Amino acid sequence: MIHFKAIGKVMGALLMLFALMMLPGAGFAYYFDTGDFDALLQSSLITFSFGSIMFFSFSRQDQNIRKREGYLIVSVSWLLMSIFGMIPYLLSDLSFGISDAIFETISGLTTTGATIINDIEAAPKGILFWRSMTQWIGGLGIIVLTVAIFPLLGIGGIELFVAESPGPTSDKLHPRIQETAKRLWYVYMGLTILAGVLYYIGGMTFYDAVNHALTTLATGGFSTKNASLAHFTSPFIHYTAIIFMILAGTNFTVIYFGLTGKFAKVWKSDEFRTYISVLLILALGLSAPVIYYSGQGVEKAFRDTLFQVVSLVTTTGYVTADYTSYHSGLTMVFFMLLFFGASAGSTSGGIKFIRHLAFFKNSWLEFKRIVHPRAVVPLKINGDRVTGKIITHIMNFLLIYLMIFTISSIIVSLMGYDLLTSFGAVATSLGNVGPAIGRVGPMDNFAFFDPFTKIFLSFIMLLGRLELFTILVLFTPYFWRAN
């Protein structure tokens, strides 16, 4: 028996909080008088009413939340936020179809940042703020998940590498999860405010600065400008975005260590060192051909390259240059970045370095195992031994990720889109990035897709955001049969 009442209570509380998050958008709508105040206020009231009814209906229940309820809570909470998060779009003057509203909301909550809005600057400012807020909520949600919930559920094999999980390979940030979550929340909040201040100093309006701060820390990538960050020509703003995207893609535990002066612990993280090194190597290595093919000045070409590399690897998806305009080989390289993902325990999506690292290290050791078949050749990460069970789980994750990518690409192409567009749209949705290649390149949007494909891609975003297994396990008999 699944304890549905326990789930209902948690969901009710979540929806009430979610409703409150709609109010700042209403505030901007009122201030700018952009005509979307009513839509946001009504949405908030509707959501709050539903939430409070659910919460109080089940408030006297005494069911426990076990592992199985944990899976359902994660999936259902993202689903409920998607449903109620659509309401502002549907009540606004934007002529969104249902599939448009589903896409934009899920693209927000999953911090993907793909959009179906053709003219972003013409959209009412309150709604746009809500759009940025969905990403910030999603980013916060994923931090809570990776710190508090995934370790308990054993999702994706990286549970041992994120903050608060039990087991020998984890650095205990703080003994109690609740306390940890609070500290990570301060880090998230603090960095968001700092990014906003710097954007403001760099010349953004207060409104733009807040929006971009929210979507930077969420590695979300929604912008209030049609041209994304290419709209702002200030190098200061670009470098600010680069630094904060890198931070947002760092394990928040590692950031916390950094803030408290424990630099040895920061550098001990194999994932962090790999992440920073790969970003540097890619930016430096790709700058030369970009300088050559773009014909721009050295600083601008380097900045563009660094920006695009960081934006794609951290799965943010901001754009300051069209990386598909240089050379088809370079386009391929940038396309491959959609499969990177930054760090576990960050807001970034995708595969993430810890899994790549486990795969590469294990592959190398596999040769040693071939040459010395009787030797015991263990895989070590952060100096600690990784069990065979976790290696298997991580490699399974990688293969299932690629299989979902493949099958989904076929499905999208069967809907009549060309191969590159299909590959691109799926890769960027699954990795929660935003831009891609083909007809969904960095200068395009997703408005032209048919309703089925929009909803399908939204589902792919959710799959990616929740590390595949959280959702997929619900489709197996094991889950429903277990007691």
CA angle 15–17–18, rounded 5-degree value: 60
CA angle 433–436–442, rounded 5-degree value: 100
How far is the C-alpha of 440 from the C-alpha of 426, rounded, in Å? 10
Query: Which of 148/351 has CB closer to its own copies?
Result: 351
Residues that bind K ion (CB under 5 A): 111, 113, 221, 315, 317, 434
Was 226 annotated as part of a binding site? no
Find the helix packing angle between 419-430 and 328-337, rounded to 10°: 30
**Burial category of 13 from C-beta neighbours within 10 Å (exposed 0-12, middle 13-18, buried 19 and up):** middle
Query: Which of 45/288 has CB closer to its own copies?
Result: 288
Residues of this chain, 78-107, that bind its own copies according to CB under 8 A: none
Query: Which of 260/476 has CB closer to its own copies?
Result: 476
482 interface partner picked from K ion, its own copies, none, CB below 5 to 8 A per type: its own copies
418 interacts with its own copies by CB under 8 A = yes
Was 316 annotated as part of a binding site? yes
Was 220 annotated as part of a binding site? yes
**Beta-carbon neighbour count of residue 76 at 10 Å?**
18
Query: Which of 139/196 has CB closer to K ion?
Result: 139
How far is the C-alpha of 298 from the C-alpha of 291, rounded, in Å? 6
Residues of this chain, 120-159, that bind its own copies according to CB under 8 A: 153-155
Residues of this chain, 324-363, that bind its own copies according to CB under 8 A: 327-333, 335-336, 359, 362-363
Residue recorded with tokens 């994120």: 162
371 interface partner picked from K ion, its own copies, none, CB below 5 to 8 A per type: its own copies
Return the structure tokens found at 347.
Answer: 């807001």
265 interacts with its own copies by CB under 8 A = no
Looking at residue 69, its amino acid is E
409 interacts with its own copies by CB under 8 A = yes
Was 111 annotated as part of a binding site? yes
281 interacts with its own copies by CB under 8 A = no
456 interacts with its own copies by CB under 8 A = no
Contact present, 23 and 130 (Cβ < 8 Å): no
476 interface partner picked from its own copies, K ion, none, CB below 5 to 8 A per type: its own copies
Long-range contacts at 415-424 (CB < 8 A, ≥ 24 apart): 415/450, 415/452, 415/453, 417/449, 417/453, 423/335, 424/335, 424/338
317 interface partner picked from its own copies, K ion, none, CB below 5 to 8 A per type: K ion
Which of 334, 293, 330 is CA-nearest to residue 310? 334
Q: How far is the CB of 316 from K ion (least distance, A)?
A: 5
The torsion angles phi and psi of 293, rounded to 5 degrees, stand at -80, -30
Footprint of its own copies (CB under 8 A):
67-68, 153-155, 327-333, 335-336, 359, 362-364, 366-373, 388-389, 391-393, 395-396, 398-400, 402, 406, 409-410, 413-420, 422, 437, 469, 472-473, 476, 478-479, 482
